[in-house]
A = this chain, B = another copy of it.
Amino acid sequence: MLTPNARTADQSDAAPLFAALGDETRLALVDRLCAGGPLSIARLTAGSTVTRQAITKHLQILAAVGLVHDRWHGRERIWELDTARLDEARRRLDQISQQWDEALNRLKRFVED
């Protein structure tokens, strides 16, 4: 429809995603799941400075924005990156950065006139 006030269509709920990533511990968790594949809470806790319960909470926050999901395997709760959602998130990041890029180019053209 391209209404005059179109702005920010898809990035409307980008803030919670950024917020979920805006923590060192959580970013490290994403990192480890990225590099190491599915891991149990105990595994993820080992090497971390914080307690298992803290790790659990962080994982739940990541799950709330769909970046990870869990699966039970015996007495272990295995967490893994949600590849579909993660890819979606990646595309959203690209999209936002592209929006910024376009806007910046417009600004540059404006300044250079």
Contacts and interface: CB of A to CB of B under 8 A. Distances in A.
Nearest to A23: B15
Contacts of A96: 93
A97 B94 CA distance: 8
B31 A8 contact: yes
A18 B87 CA distance: 17
B101 A90 contact: yes
Interface in A91-108: 93-94, 96-97, 99-101, 103-104, 107-108
Given A83-B107, A97-B90, A108-B83, A14 B37 contact: no
Contact of A15 (B27, B93, B94, B99): B27
Copies in the complex: 2
Interface in A1-29: 7-8, 11, 14-24, 26-28
A26, A28, A90 — most chain B CB neighbours (10 Å):
A90
A34 B100 contact: yes
A19 B15 CA distance: 9
Nearest to A16: B22
29 contacts: A8-B28, A11-B27, A14-B27, A15-B23, A15-B24, A15-B26, A15-B27, A16-B22, A17-B22, A18-B18, A18-B21, A18-B22, A19-B19, A20-B22, A34-B99, A34-B100, A34-B103, A37-B110, A81-B104, A81-B107, A83-B107, A83-B108, A86-B100, A87-B101, A90-B101, A93-B93, A93-B96, A93-B97, A94-B97
